[in-house]
């Protein structure tokens, strides 16, 4: 089985490529620009540059590769940048998804779209797959639009919503909340971390395994794939400091109102993952176990 991954240079993409190669799948990794993956070309792996907003580029790659499964992880994810540049955000997250799906319908058999907890308003938390979508920022709105496009697909599709992904990149140094806290404290920098936002942080290896389970079981529909512990960023920072034996006194607890940001954040998201646990056999690590993986 051949699987094409968009956004393969990102944190999830890197771990997903590794997981699929470990299972002996043929992987076509794609991303904007050069390959930043620590894998050599082989019978099972190759990399192709792909700009999902370039319809001719997408059509060429899809027609030549004809993958059985597409995992669409490429997106513009910087929430404030999406708010400040909604045209570019829509071009990448909505138009790019549309173009990829059109060509997938001609050449593929299963399409998996990676979405976000930011499609919810964050008033309740512990969302299940059938809860109403009410994004509070343009990033979430663009992902909601792309999800709506998935529902029109003429081939089997799955939407994977996830939440606050953390972990070590296999290559590169792009920051996530854990690496930011760890690096700041190691350098003796004081940091301010919010305690009035709630998430179910997701270890990247768990997310990759969850997507693998979707592929193996040819699952369709909407799935919430995240960690199982509901925590605030402040909780996460304290646990990170404890794990790496760093100075917690450098961490100041604040509220979201302490920051001026272009985009609103939903205060309380996080997922009910019982569907994935029951139907896929998904078993995420605890947050402490995830830290040990780092």
For position 173, what pLDDT does the model report?
62
For position 171, what pLDDT does the model report?
84
- 98: its two tokens: 């549309």
Q: Across the 294 residues of the chain, what is the mean pLDDT of every consecutive 10-residue run?
A: 97 97 98 94 98 97 98 97 98 98 98 98 96 98 98 97 95 83 96 96 98 98 97 97 97 93 96 98 97 93
Domain membership of residue 292 (yes or no) is: no
Domain membership of residue 92 (yes or no) is: yes
Count of structural domains, the chain: 1
For position 294, what pLDDT does the model report?
87
Domain membership of residue 187 (yes or no) is: no
Domain membership of residue 93 (yes or no) is: yes
Domain membership of residue 215 (yes or no) is: yes
Burial class, 196, CB count within 10 angstroms (exposed 0-12 / middle 13-18 / buried 19+):
middle
Domain housing 108? 2-167+201-230+270-287
The one-character DSSP state at 152 is T
Asked if residue 71 lies in contact with residue 81, where contact means CB atoms within 8 angstroms, the answer is no
Asked if residue 146 lies in contact with residue 113, where contact means CB atoms within 8 angstroms, the answer is yes
Domain membership of residue 27 (yes or no) is: yes
Asked if residue 226 lies in contact with residue 250, where contact means CB atoms within 8 angstroms, the answer is no
Burial class, 134, CB count within 10 angstroms (exposed 0-12 / middle 13-18 / buried 19+):
middle
The CATH number that applies at residue 37 is: 3.40.50.720
For position 78, what pLDDT does the model report?
96
pTM of the model: 0.97
H or E element at residue 81: helix 79-84
Pairing outcome for strands 157-162 and 26-31 = unpaired
Domain membership of residue 23 (yes or no) is: yes
Domain membership of residue 257 (yes or no) is: no
């Amino acid at each position: 089985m051949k699987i094409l991954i968009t956004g393969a240079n990102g944190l999830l993409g890197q771990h997903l490529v590794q997981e699929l190669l470990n299972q002996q799948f043929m992987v076509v990794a794609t991303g904007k620009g050069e390959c930043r993956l620590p894998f050599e070309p082989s019978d099972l792996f190759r990399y192709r540059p792909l700009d999902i907003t370039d319809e001719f580029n997408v059509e060429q790659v899809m027609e030549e590769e004809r993958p059985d499964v597409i995992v669409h992880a490429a997106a513009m994810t910087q929430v404030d940048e999406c708010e400040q540049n909604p045209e570019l955000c829509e071009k990448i997250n909505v138009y790019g998804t549309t173009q990829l799906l059109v060509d997938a319908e001609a050449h593929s058999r299963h399409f998996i779209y990676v979405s976000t907890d930011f499609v919810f308003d964050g008033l309740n938390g512990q969302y299940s797959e059938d809860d109403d979508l009410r994004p509070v920022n343009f990033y979430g709105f663009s992902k909601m639009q792309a999800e709506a496009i998935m529902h029109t697909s003429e081939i089997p599709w799955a939407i994977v919503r996830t939440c606050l992904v953390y972990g070590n990149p296999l290559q590169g140094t792009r920051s996530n909340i854990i690496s930011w806290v760890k690096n700041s404290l190691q350098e003796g920098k004081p940091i301010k971390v919010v305690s009035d936002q709630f998430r179910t942080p997701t270890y990247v290896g768990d997310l990759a395994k969850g997507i693998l389970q979707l592929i193996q079981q040819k699952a369709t529909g909407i799935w919430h794939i995240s960690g199982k512990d509901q925590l605030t960023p402040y909780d996460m920072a304290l646990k990170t400091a404890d794990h790496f034996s760093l100075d917690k006194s450098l961490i100041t607890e604040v509220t979201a109102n302490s920051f001026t940001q272009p985009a609103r954040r939903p205060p309380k998201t996080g997922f009910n993952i019982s569907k994935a646990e029951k139907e896929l056999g998904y078993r995420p690590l605890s947050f402490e176990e995830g830290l040990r993986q780092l």
